[in-house]
Structure 1
Amino acid sequence: MPINSHYKLILSILITLFFNACNNEKKAPVVDADSLASCESNLPSRFGVKVDSTFIKKGRVDHADMVYIPAGEFLMGASDEEGRPDEYPQHKVKVSGFWMDQTEVTNASFSKFVKATGYVTTAERKPDWEELKKQLPTGTPKPPDSVLVASSLVFSPPKEIVSLNDASQWWEWKQGADWKHPEGPKSNLKGRENFPVVHVSWDDAQAYCKWAGKRLPTEAEWEYASRGGLKDAKYPWGNEAIEKGEAKANTWQGNFPLNNSKQDGFQLLAPVKQFKPNGYGLYDMSGNVWEWCSDWFRADHYEKQTDVTINPQGPKDSYDPMEPGIPKKVVRGGSFMCNASYCKGYRVTARMKTSKDTGLAHTGFRCVSSQ
């Protein structure tokens, strides 16, 4: 379904409609904007929406449905030539033991949070023009009120073969799309209680973690846990290509984004725990939905890691050379949209980035706890 004229207007104000696919780049000595093109770049973000979670009381952590990840040391980052430039160089990291959710947070769990707190997610809120215009060039005209409505980005596959260099051809702003209505106002969560919650911003994920007495994982914790105890493997299950053998994760098979052969059994999202867990007992560390981490994203962050780091918290600020004016957080793990021809985000070292106020139909999260 094409983006209607009103949404074209707001998209033209917020971004240049030129999306770049996350092609599998070779190792590069210099991190530059062109080499960091990704399926999370230039996505329309939820500008002008303020989220207040200060009213949420810090909960008491419950380790039910969590697994303990033992302390250890590992080499963080890619060691082969499949990584993108921001995955190099490999560097030593030590992490303390921590607890991690076995699965991505589900609709059922998020529903309990909303019922208990009355929290309203970013996608459910109407953008505030006074906040929005602060982030736009001086003199930008106010769009019509019909555009400044609660909405979110949904996956809308094209009907014919398209260039993989323009992701706007399969993303669509849809009014009324949010965590309770994943495909728009006519959809609901009936029968999807065990699916990962989506259309949640980083702020939304933070609010849930606070309520649950937990926190978002650091990028280092996420990668260490994803490896499942394996040394320098490409994927949570080892080095076997995802196309070989039994289905290992919920990703895209076939011609992306036109046709999904569903060899893994799913067209789009899958319920949690549909594939074998990794060595630590964690499910869906590859595919299904991208997962928010606590860290800011900087394209050059790995280059600055010269010594062994202990429990790194990531950079102090964000810098994406493709969109230097938009602060972004790290997302990890890939999604149901990942395909070898377009995005191998299901590799354990793959890093992507998204504006913290943006929710998408393929982005969710899981929590961790140090206690």
Structure 2
Amino acid sequence: MKKSLIALAFGTLGLGIAEFTMMGILPYVAADLNIGIPVAGHFISAYALGVCAGAPMLILARKRPLKHILLALMALMLVGNLGAAMATGYWSLLAARFISGLPHGAYFGVASIVAGKLADEGRSSEAVSIMIAGMTVANLFGVPLGTSLSHILSWRVTFLLVACWGVIVLYYIWRWVPAVEGLKDTGFKGQFRFLKTPAPWLILGATALGNGGVFCWYSYITPLLTNVSGFSAGSITALMMLAGFGMVVGNLASGRLSDKYTPGRVGMVVQGMICIVLLLIFFLSPHPWCSAILMALCTAGLFAVSSPEQVLIIRVAPGGEMLGGACVQMAFNLGNAIGAYVGGLALGGGYRYPALAGVPFALTGFILFVIFYKKFQSRY
């Protein structure tokens, strides 16, 4: 495996811990700041909205070398998470989470292009999946570690850990990622030209709604597992590792399958599977091991659909590849924000109901994927 792709994956590892660890430590943050869990869910939404706000910054940096952009984004990740570790209350943590999200989408947009340029012939989807693999490893090891540290020490230690990791990522991107050829500058308006066609909107819509459906449920996974499935608080770390294992397997499998069967077909099938799994979670979550297995399947689907979406948006965005790659992360995190909010509203019916609330979102995302596959897949 190329060291340059590993360096890119180190970046997504840090971003993944910063984004997803909040799901595991939500009760600790809520208790420490003396707020309810639905209110603490705003910290998930704040990060996601930061992603949406930060991605368009790539337009201003389009003439800069891709490697320099990656370094600047990692520096911003460091600052945001250091601020989260030092937050003194609700508003300061909300602001720090927003800042932490700013580099997320932009990093994925640039790193996807760099990974594609560094890939061997015919293995671009696999290269992108390796870059994204850092996000899944974050859920396998980083998020459980953060949950455990929050249980033993403090949730602030988790964000301090991410800030320290940012220093390491800066070094390895500087050392291992070569100076690849930049993209042709199509001008300010040229960056947006791809949005005049329906194909990218179908992908972005499927991403936002599909991931929104998952995050209706996943944003409140810890109280579901403890209050409905009956797992102890001490077992949450192991369960988060199981969820992360599902993400690793789903991501790497979809990268290879996308190169073999096309990203559109893989994304469509996986999104349909997610709809079924969310419905099963609603009915079967009171049964502990059913809940655990379905959790792993759903998180596998979450990242099995991520690589195809990241690859497809770059292919359908000629002249605006960097913005397109960031836009799919905007859509991903917009879905996360909406999902966390709608899931919080559904908590009124009990901790099982966020999964049910996510089904219509996931189903609509599946329908959009089907339309894309039928009308546009043959072109890409």
Same fold (TM over 0.5): no
**More strand per residue:** 1
TM-score computed with the length of structure 1 as normaliser:
0.27
TM-score normalised by the chain length of structure 2: 0.27
